[in-house]
Amino acid sequence: MPIGCPTNFLKRKYSVIFGCLETNHMAYKKLPGFYPDQEEYQPGEELKDYLEEIYPPKSMATFDEMDNDLRADGELKNLVYESSILYILRRLVTTTEHFFRLNGENKIATNTALRYYLRNYTRYSDEQVNKLSKLLLPCMDTARNNFTDGDKNIAKQQKKYYQWACFVCGKEMNETTSATADHFWPRAMGGLSNSGNLRMVCQICNNNHKKDYINQADYHYEEIAISATDYKHYKGSGHPKIYEVAVFAKSNYCCEVCQEPAYRVGELTVGRIDLKDGWHYLNLAAFCLKHKPE
Ligand SMILES: [Zn+2]
Ligand SMILES: [Zn+2]
CA 53, CA 21: separation in Å to the nearest integer?
Answer: 10
Q: Point out the residues of the chain with pLDDT beneath 70.
A: 1-40, 175-177, 220-239
pLDDT tens track for 50-103: 999 999 988 889 999 999 999 988 988 998 999 999 999 999 999 999 999 999
Helices (H) then strands (E): counts for the chain: 12, 4
Query: Which ligand minimizes its atom distance to the CA of 286?
Result: 2
Sign of CA dihedral 253, 257, 258, 259: positive
Among the bound ligands, name the one nearest to the CA of residue 167: 1
Task: Determine the pLDDT at residue 224.
Answer: 56
Q: How far out from the chain centre does Cα 287 lie? A: 19
Residues, CB within 5 angstroms of ligand 1 (ion): 166, 168-169, 202, 205
Distance (angstroms) between ligand 2 centre and the Cα of 221 equals 27
Contacts of 223 (CB under 8 A, 6+ apart): 242, 243, 246, 281
The secondary structure of 212-266, three-state, reads CCCCHHHHHHHHCCCCHHHHHHHHHCCCCHHHHHHHHHHCCCECCCCCCEHHHHC
Q: What per-residue confidence (pLDDT) applies to 13?
A: 35
Contacts within 8 Å (CB) and 24+ apart, 80-85 = 81/18, 81/21, 81/57, 82/24, 82/215, 82/216, 82/217, 82/220, 83/217, 83/218, 83/220, 83/221, 84/55, 85/48, 85/51, 85/52, 85/55
**How far apart are alpha carbons 124 and 14 in whole angstroms?**
30
What pLDDT score does 236 carry? Answer: 43
Q: What is the rounded distance in angstroms from the CA atom of residue 200 to the CA atom of residue 136? A: 27
* Per-residue confidence (pLDDT) for residue 176, from 0 to 100: 64
Say which ligand is closest to the CA of 288. Answer: 2
**What is the predicted pLDDT for the residue at 292?**
92
- Tens digits of residue pLDDT in 195-214: 778 888 888 888 887 778 88
pLDDT at res. 39? 58
Distance CA 270, CA 284 (A): 7
- Going from the Cα of 256 to the center of ligand 2, the distance in angstroms, rounded, reads 7
Q: What is the pLDDT of residue 231?
A: 54
C-alpha of residue 106 to centroid of ligand 2, in Å: 50
